[in-house]
Structure 1
Amino acid sequence: MVPPLALDIDGTLTTASGRIDSRVFELLPDWDAPVVFATGKAFPYPVALAHFLGRAETVIAENGGVAYVDGKTSVLGDPAAPRAVVEAFEARGGEVGWGDGDTVNRWRESEVALSLDADETLLREVTAEAGGEVEIVDTGYAYHVKSPDVSKGRALRRVASALGLVPADFVAVGDSENDASTFAVAGESYAVANADAFARDAADTVLDESYMDATAGLLETLRERSE
């Protein structure tokens, strides 16, 4: 049997230009084990991906701040402190950086994401003044201001339990600092070659290829191994 998967999306199931790689729609719909999409994006994004793949909408969003499994949504992070920090950041001249509309944050329930164009020095200064109530995670796509109690790894424990599994049953694939906690609890963990230093150091294996090239090759290997 193929193993359950915990898959990051950006940088892992995408091309270098950030598009969902078409091989996702070839390899994942018929994967005969649970697939958990674990992302830093807001809740609607992984739900939509699962929906269009025809899979159960089993997802971890907002770096572990929101989880959905078996028809139940759990908000695992308190947004009050992150929002207060970002408000203080803006009061001192900082900008979130997404422009009018800000669809990046519109549906977020547990954290706030800022553009990489935001003033990182000021943001970290304001965050430090919060006295440990929040932390910043740099995913390579955004600065995420969130509770330090929130992580993809902790959310995977909850999702796995609801599925009648344990995190060690999962193979995890990712590319970023926010995937290190998933790697810490999964049975096997793989960083794609484009991964940042945090993910590379945390993974059991760093794959030779990047982006979906790496993930597709690993999925084929896992399928062959299960036969």
Structure 2
Amino acid sequence: MENALVLIVEDEPEIVEILEAYLGREGFRTVSASDGNTGLSHHQRLKPDLVILDVKLPGLDGYEVLAAIRRQADTPILMATALAEDLDKLQALRIGADDYDVKPFNPLEVVARAKAILRRTRRSSVEPVLRVGELSVDMAAHMAYLDLQGGRRALDLTRTEFRILAHMARWPNRAFERSELVDACLPEGEALERTVDSHMSNLRRKLASAGANGILSGVRGVGYRLAML
């Protein structure tokens, strides 16, 4: 984690200065951008290890930057914004944010969240391929795919969807409660259990579209199960 590069996309210079100071003390390198277009350009050019992203930005807003990054890469993204409504958080998580912190925030907490995200993502890079029937989850490549009669079909998943699928693939046929999936797979902070239903709906649709209809199912009164086809 030492020497990891953090891109801060924030238009308030005071906040940038504080985050750079606290991250620097922990051994992070930082680069900043004060608008969405520059932030996206920095991401494409510098390939940071983590992005701390505001929502209200000149030019492209944070949601647009988040969506653009997700179309190109799976770089971990921590949203840090004054927008505190549940709908704002859900929108960011649905687009693919890894975590969400609300201003005014404690810079020590932001650093702790950044470390937790990087630990989580880097830990997954040394894990094996998990297999549940025709489904394979390659932790090192951060890919999930189905090996069917018609050939291999890759699944286009957000980081959170991949994390949920990988967690469930470790224990096939087990019923998972929503609260467990929140704790294990969703970003730290104010993750909501109903957010799991949204991610599961997207996962089921993507699995079914790829030819694995029924592999992910709801368990009445409990939560969800990933079962072999």
TM-score (norm 2): 0.34
**Larger helix percent:** 2
Instruction: Tell me which of the two structures has the higher relative contact order, counting C-alpha pairs closer than 8 angstroms and 6 or more residues apart.
Output: 1
TM-score (norm 1): 0.34
